[in-house]
Structure formats: C-alpha cells, structure tokens
Structure 1
C-alpha cells in the first residue's frame, strides 16, 4: 500500500482499518519492519503493530504473531553491515510487545513464552551487527532492542529462578562478546536496566549474583596480545559495570539486595579502575 494509506492509519490514532483483512495488514507491516526507511520502520510499522498488540487486536492470534516475529530474528543472522539487521532488531521489539501483552493478561501457556525466551536469547548472543544509529537509515540498535526484550521477559510470571538466572547469563554473554568497536549507543545502559528488572523480581539470591558479577569483572580486566586493541575486549564489560552501578545507586525502586550488591559493584569498579583511583603521586 502507499505511504499515504499508512499515514491515514497513524492520523486515525492507529485504529485498525476495515477495508482490508487483518492478516494482509499484518503481513505488510511485518515486511516494513525491515525497511531501510526509518519513517516506515520506526514511525509506522513498529508503533502500529505495538499499538494493536497493546489494544488486544491480536489476542486470539498472539501466538502466531509472536512466532512470526521470532522467525524474523533469524533473517540474515550473522551478517554485519547489511540491511537485514533492521528486520531482526524490530522483530525483537514487536515480540517483546507480545510478551508484555501476556504479562498483563495471561493469554499464553508457559511453553510458548519459554520458547520465545529461548529464541530471543539465542538471537541476542549470536547477533553480530552491533551498529547503533546508521546514517541515512536510522536506528538499527539490535543490542539495545534485545536488552529491552530481555527486560520484558524478566517480568513474565512464567519465568522463575532458573529462567531468570539464564537471562542473567545471556546478559553476561552479550556483554563479554568482543565487538568490532565498543558499544556506544546506550547499549550497556539498556543491558543494565534489563539486569535491574531481573533483580527486582527478588528471586535471584546474592550468592548467585556474585559469581556472575565476578565473571564480568574478570572480562573487564582481560589481558590481550600486544598487537590487539584491548578496549575491544574490556570496554563493554567496563561500561556495563558503570551503568549497573549507576542504576543500583539511583534506582527509584530499590532491589532486594541493593546494599550488598552496590558494595560488590563498587569493589569491581575499584578493581578494574586501579590506575584511575590511585591517590595522586
């Protein structure tokens, strides 16, 4: 359909058009999630689909819609610098909307949400295109969108202690994955926010958090060969530790282990920033 058609939908407060079947509208919007035009993708396809999911338009079709978005996570997975990243990244956002709808209204069985969780986690740790803003094409932001999806999963009643610890490991795996350039478009902050969502469930005890934190701290101290840029290995875990410290310290909704974890993160930052916190000579 023409751009004018979807402009009319947006101007009508995103009400579902009655002149075309919903499956046809959905299929077209799904294709638009992978558009290189940020207006089509960011301002049209995603907000319309998100609005319809939130309004309950897909309640009877939620499993099928989510499965379609999960399939989009594998389109071109492993490619770097290509346009396929947009479909993966924005499919993750719409799939997160499907999970959020279930979080509010318990529409789906455990198996479906757990399957989506596995597929989001598998995609996030395997995603290689970590670009943030792409000139001329707008936001790719796959890692940030993946972090947002993890945060929504963490709020699901289908996720207990075991599943939440898996999500923590996924976050650590993503933080520790070397990248061609340090993440610089807010991704460490979004991953830290997802971590806070997990911790606010008050199910993961400190004795399980501490070794997870130690793993990230160790990565921030990693020694690499002299002919390699060490920041491609250490910058992301270091940025994550700083973001996590900030959010633990300033969070308006404190987590259950706040005091002990804040001390642990501060110790981690002292360890990874020895050269910066030494007293002046």
Structure 2
C-alpha cells in the first residue's frame, strides 16, 4: 500500500519519486490520475536537473509499455519536465515513434478511467513544439501523422481541441518561415484528395475538426495558459488560415 498522505507531505526524494512514478502506470484510475499524476506534476519544479532527466528517461521508456494507461500517462508528466527546461532528443524520438502509432484512442474506459492518448500526447507535442532545441517543423509533422493514422475511433472528449491548441502554439515559433508554417498541411491535403464517396472515415472527421480549431486559434491568437494571460499571435497567421481553408475545402467544399 502506498501511504499517499506521507508522500504528499514530504519533499521529493529519489525513493519517493520512484514510488509515485511507478503508481503513474497503475490500472487504478484513482491511484494513477488523482494521486500519482498531480503529485509528480507538483514535484517537477522542485527536482534537481539530474533528477528531472532521470525521470524523463523512465517516462520516455514507457511509450513501449504493454499497458495502455502506462503509455498514455507518461506524456503528461514528460510534458511538465520539458516545459520546465529538461530535454533529451531521445525523448522526442520515442514520442515520435509512439504518438502516430498508438491504436487505443479511447478517451475514457469504465475500468481504467481516463486514457486520452491523443489529448495527453498533444500536451507533450505542445511542450516539444515550444522548446527552443526542437525544430518546430518536427512536432507539426507529428501532429499531421497522428491526424492521418487510420483509426475506428471518432474523438469525443475534446481531443481535437487539445491537438489544435498544441499545433497553434507550435506555430507561434518565430523561426518558422511562412513556407515551413504551412508545409505540414500538404500531406493532409494529399490524403483528403484520395477520398471517395461514402461515410467519412473517423480519421478524416477527427482531422477536419482539429483543423477547424486550429483555424480559429490562428485567427484569434492562442493563450498558452488556456484562461487569462497573454494572447500569442501566429507570425504567419494569414498564410496558415489560407492553407487550412484550402485543405478543408478538399474534403468539405461547401463552406467556400
């Protein structure tokens, strides 16, 4: 049994971080989501740099875990670490292998609770997208790959909002040229162009809704902290909006 009261009252140590990190892969949604995740998130700013890197290494290794909840909760804390300044290229590589390839895209499971692979992965995509050591074109391409991956799951738990938000923040990076800010959308347009009459595939529905969120954020600006605070403008706002409109029109021509 984990004594959560003692853990929550104490400063983090190597031993306590190991215990709570192990609980982050628990199938018990209370232990994982209500206990382990908030505590690790609170501890991240208090950890020494080497402890952050060690925890990040452990979490990046969970993208290959056989348990879905272990895979889908790792990016939540890894995002906290990256946003706190910790970064290794191998974390991005591990995430890049997992995110487009994850097949269990359920938001909620009656026994396991929240899984939310797309939304939790979007939080890490955002962290990488804002990190100065990461070429922003890479998270943008990963976002496109996640959108286009075949799936039977129509997202129903605001995954489109979370992924659109992550992409929008990545697009606020000043070093992106206009061409690179829109190039990642070309692959989506190519896939949409191969569509045939009939029911819309789930991946296409998910992609359309995500791009509509992104269009809105490109137009209005994006707040990094969701509520309140500064509004960041996309440097290539008009070009991004124009290209999104063109891509949307391939699959849904009636708006324009």
Band the TM-score falls in, shorter-chain normalisation: 0.7 to 0.9
Q: Which residue of 2 aligns with 1:173?
A: 145
Distance 2:163 2:14 in 1: 34
Compute the TM-score of the two structures, normalised by the length of structure 1: 0.80
Structure 1 residues 218 and 196, CA, compared in 2 at 3 Å: closer, same or farther? same
Distance 2:255 2:130 in 1: 37
Q: Deviations over 1:177-230 (max 9, x none)?
A: 01112222222222211111211112222222333223223334432586xx54
Matches within 5 A, 1:177-216: 177-216=149-188
1:57 and 2:47 matched: yes
- Structure 1 window deviating more from structure 2 (42-51 vs 56-65): it is 56-65
1:27 and 2:18 matched: yes
Compute the TM-score of the two structures, normalised by the length of structure 2: 0.87
CA contact (8 A) 1:37 1:137 kept: yes
Structure 1 runs of 4+ aligned residues shifted over 3 Å read 7-10
Distance 1:150 1:66 in 2: 15
CA contact (8 A) 2:14 2:51 kept: no
1:260 and 2:239 matched: yes
Find the residue that maps to 2:82 and give its secondary structure: helix
Query: 1:136: how far off?
Result: 3.3
Matches within 5 A, 1:114-133: 114-133=89-108
Query: Structure 1 stretches of 5 or more lacking a match?
Result: 77-83, 103-107
Query: 1:52: how far off?
Result: 1.0
Q: Deviations over 1:42-85 (max 9, x none)?
A: 1110111111112x224332221111111111101xxxxxxx11
Q: Which residue of 2 aligns with 1:16?
A: 11
Distance 2:187 2:106 in 1: 25
* Alignment equivalent of 2:4, drawn from 3, 6, 21: 6
Query: Structure 2 stretches of 5 or more lacking a match?
Result: 222-230
1:246 and 2:216 matched: yes
Q: Which residue of 2 aligns with 1:101?
A: 84
Distance 1:100 1:208 in 2: 23
Q: Which residue of 2 aligns with 1:272?
A: 251
Structure 1 residues 253 and 192, CA, compared in 2 at 3 Å: closer, same or farther? same
Find the residue that maps to 2:184 and give its secondary structure: helix
